[in-house]
Amino acid sequence: MSAPEQPDFDDEFERAIADWRERHRLREDDAVLLLVDLFRIHQRHWDELRQRELPSLDLVRADIGKLAESTRMFQAQSATLLEALRKLPSTHVAARVTRTAAFFAALASLLAGYLIGRVWP
C-alpha cells in the first residue's frame, strides 16, 4: 500500500502572497514579507519536528494487531486452562471438626492451661 502523496501548498501560498503584495502595493524587501518568510521557516521547522516525533500509523497499526493477537491467544489459553482445571477431580477435602471434638479440645486446653499455671506461678 503506497502512502498518499501530500499536496504541495507552496504554489498556492506564493500566489496568495503575490496577490496580497499587489493589493497593498508592497515592495519585495518590505518588513512584512520578511516576517512572512520567517513564519514559513518556523512552520517548516515545527512540521519536521512533528513528523520526526510521531510514529507512523503503519507502526501503530502493526502494534495494535500484535496486541489483539496476543489478547486472543491469552484468552484461548486461559479458557483451555480453566476447562482442564474443571475436569480435574477435586483433591481438596475440607476437614470438618465435629462439635464433640471441638468441645473436648477446648476442655483439654483449659485443663492444660490450669495445670501450667499451677506449675509455673
Give the integer Cα–Cα distance in Å for 16 and 115.
107
Asked if 32 contacts 26 with a C-beta cutoff of 8 angstroms, the reply is yes
Residue 14's pLDDT band (cuts 50, 70, 90): confident
Q: Which of 30, 9, 8 lies closest to 21, judged by CA?
A: 30
> What one-letter code names the amino acid at 84?
A
In sequence order, which residues have a C-beta less than 8 Å from that of residue 14 and are 6 or more positions away?
none
pLDDT at residue number 94: 67
In sequence order, which residues have a C-beta less than 8 Å from that of residue 32 and are 6 or more positions away?
26
Q: What is the pLDDT of residues 38-60, one digit of tens each?
A: 888 888 888 888 777 777 778 88
Coil, helix or strand for 38? helix
CA dihedral 64, 69, 71, 74 (to 10 degrees): -160
